[in-house]
Amino acid sequence: MDGEITGPHSGSMETLENLVRAEFAPKTTYLNTASNALLPARTVTALEHAARLRVEGRPLDSLNADVEAGRAAYARLAGVPAERVAAGATAALYTSLVAASLPPGAEVLTAEDDFTSVLNAFHTRGDLKVRAVPLERIADSVRPGTALVAVSAVQSADGRIADLTALSEAARTHGARTYVDFSQAAGWLPMEAGAFDYSVSITYKWLLGPHGAAFLVVPEDLGDLPPFQASHVGAEHPWAICYGPVTELARSARRFDSSPALFTYAGLRASLELVEEVGVDAIRAHDLDLAGRFRAGLATLGHAPVSAPGSPIVSVPGLGHRQSALAAAGIQVSDRAGHLRASFHLYNTADDVDRLLDALSG
């Protein structure tokens, strides 16, 4: 590591640097967290333990506790009570519930070229007025009659960060609801999910989890979401209502749960424990230090990335075609719309940054 990461764990004999080294052992220069993160060793162990229960024919009841532990951990990261957090599988599923809550003809304000999971359900309904504006203008574009503003906190393509404070204020002024996707933010950017009506995040990026889990935060009064996907897990007493219609939905956000992928949540519990152990502030400082190093190096090479101050995602126009050659050289980045996208996280080092810069200079 380029210096020692400092966080909640830093006062113990084992430094966070050693902790991270014990958890991650990449075989490549992996700079692609914006696509999916590396799994910590503890997460792999938890996944193997969960699978072993199936192999040996033992009960899976203990894995339900992992779902609740994951819900509670995400609630702490999001700054809301666990009763406001639903546990599901995908962000797109929860976007569809938000879309279904709107009346015909309602106006939905979105950011141009935002990630599809944030947008598609509003378009496929066919009877909503979906308006797209540049991200930098989204707060100023809220107007009387706007029913909902839906936006990613951090743009997947290039790392630009939405001004969520301005957005929240504008929405409140005009009586619009808000739906924020924290998928590219949760784990490195402090969240204040309670400032928005609805928010969502998948967990396989900056939260270091396996694929197949997502969390939705709803208002204290549960909002207007229709529980169309309700199964027995959304009941107030799930194992008392397994047959026939559910007669009483959960009195918390759990009514919006979908049947959990138990193995995924077993691994996710371990991942979230690591994120909390290190601390979001320490992770953010580390990630942004490396992104800043990369931006400075790009300048010496004559390249100008998309302006995204304060983001660990760096997108460089015109270099996307280099992705395949970099992969062949053992450097993992992404090609997004012709841009080379590098993203930096807990397990990356200054050496990783320099290796990418050396490859780009060749």
- Please indicate, yes or no, if residue 273 is contained in any of the structural domains: yes
301 three-state secondary structure: coil
Residue 181 belongs to domain spanning:
61-277
- Please indicate, yes or no, if residue 11 is contained in any of the structural domains: no
> Does 260 lie in the same domain as 194?
yes
> Does 113 lie in the same domain as 254?
yes
- Please indicate, yes or no, if residue 149 is contained in any of the structural domains: yes
> Does 162 lie in the same domain as 143?
yes
pLDDT tens digits, 182-194: 999 999 999 999 9
> Does 240 lie in the same domain as 115?
yes
pLDDT at 6 over 70: no
- Please indicate, yes or no, if residue 123 is contained in any of the structural domains: yes
pLDDT tens digits, 30-45: 999 999 999 999 999 9
> Does 292 lie in the same domain as 262?
no
> Does 155 lie in the same domain as 87?
yes
pLDDT at 14 over 80: no
pLDDT band at residue 240 under the 50/70/90 scheme: confident
> 255, 277, 299 — which closes off a domain?
277
- Please indicate, yes or no, if residue 40 is contained in any of the structural domains: no
Q: Give the mean pLDDT of 234-249.
A: 86
150 three-state secondary structure: strand
> Does 144 lie in the same domain as 130?
yes
Residue 233: phi, psi to the nearest 5? -70, -15
pLDDT of 2 reads 46
DSSP state of 82: G
> Does 232 lie in the same domain as 91?
yes
Q: How many Å apart are CA 110 and CA 37, to the nearest integer?
A: 27
How many other C-beta atoms are found inside a 10 Å radius of the C-beta of residue 143?
Answer: 13
Tell me which of 238 and 76 has the higher pLDDT: 76
- Please indicate, yes or no, if residue 172 is contained in any of the structural domains: yes
- Please indicate, yes or no, if residue 44 is contained in any of the structural domains: no
pLDDT band at residue 288 under the 50/70/90 scheme: very high
The model carries a pTM of 0.94
42 three-state secondary structure: helix
